[in-house]
Structure 1
């Protein structure tokens, strides 16, 4: 593992984020595109959070977890797109970020990403209990357990991120300092280290297996049990309703896990900076934008709460 550089070596005090393009006109177009995506995501997730908080009919474990997911999505996209570095750097002449700023961004981004990976397991468990043990749903998933599960996922995410970030930023960076990305992502920063990173890459792979592959396996196992339980339901309407409650979660999991699994569990030999920037947009920007749409368009309770808050009176569904 890399050690601190010798005294006669220069220590990098800041990094330069190359972003997507060096053309000013292209950057102006990208600025407005990403600004629209960012505002739409914040508005969509903020609306879901507000509706769940305001409507007492949505004060259930399922919507509590959905509210937490919206908070995660809003924080996740804000970490990279607001101020440092995405939006400001698209218009600024200087695209530098301090070593400390890069460290902080990498830590928070990784922590929120790992938290989402683990939190999707909690949401799958919620659906498993609701469908397989409907009569005991509120007893098993009481409010104390819900808050413990939510707090536990955040704690695990920030703890594992601390290990990842500490090992990455402890490496010696003596030049060059140009990160071929639009934010301080671990693999892109580590690629600039002037030492062998094989040991840290191995540690990162272990962490990735633990917080990416293992949760995904648990989610798949949960939905196998859920599918078997649904197939036992004799009512066609009951089957459709049960499948509908799971469809949104499965869609969100697929949109997030597909690119994340590719980025963090592939061999280092297939590393491609340009491809990584495009793929990272999928799990960073577009999942935060699409999640509110996925959950609201198919959810009658969310629609009813929206119309109620807007003062449209009672709505029959």
Structure 2
């Protein structure tokens, strides 16, 4: 599709629309191709305008903090949606926190702690933003979003809807959103208490056990029922396994690393090799937790 035709396919917005934007610098892995169109809506109303007015059938991909994502080397066709600005507000209330979808999980935990609220400490151990955390029912250190979520506001083609945690049917690393819906903000309940000790404990545990300073995407595979993915990977002899510039972390083998010059194809192929070795060794099929999106080069 030509640039002129694509411009007609995207409604007029108050936010920013750019063509051919490199996405690798926006992702934690630092790999992947370009967005055909990168769109940054000005606010929730602008986002609804986009969803309602974009040409039917055009791909719309939401890019949050891109912490658990491999964008393939051929890039992402259609519209890539990046929320920021007005979507990043965090407000502490007497018994909870309301946070925009672009707010980082750790920022929400810090706001709650500063307000003398506890119960959201686990968020400081989850890389990413609130929109993605709600969409995948993110969890760590014994807690999940469904344990603390009151409601989420979701932009749809017909407007904003507020859905309860029950309505989202949250399950392990999954939420049921309206078709084409985009989380714009959420509310989490909390209780009075000192969150600092638990947050210090979580941060120390992450530093000691995870490659937090590497180019990585967090946990690569979901934990099978009753199992730990890292233990299955280790038992299959995959710790430190490499393919090109991609490596299975030696520190935590459920993490893939870009050691400096990996391609998205190498990371994904290494993940598939790990899955094959684990299946051969244990008979258990690992499911990807990291999303892989876009077109292969």
Report the TM-score, using the length of structure 1 for normalisation: 0.24
Structure with greater proportional strand content: 2
- With the length of structure 2 as denominator, give the TM-score of the two structures: 0.26
Higher alpha-carbon Rg: 1
Higher normalized contact order (CA 8 Å, seq sep 6+, divided by chain length): 1
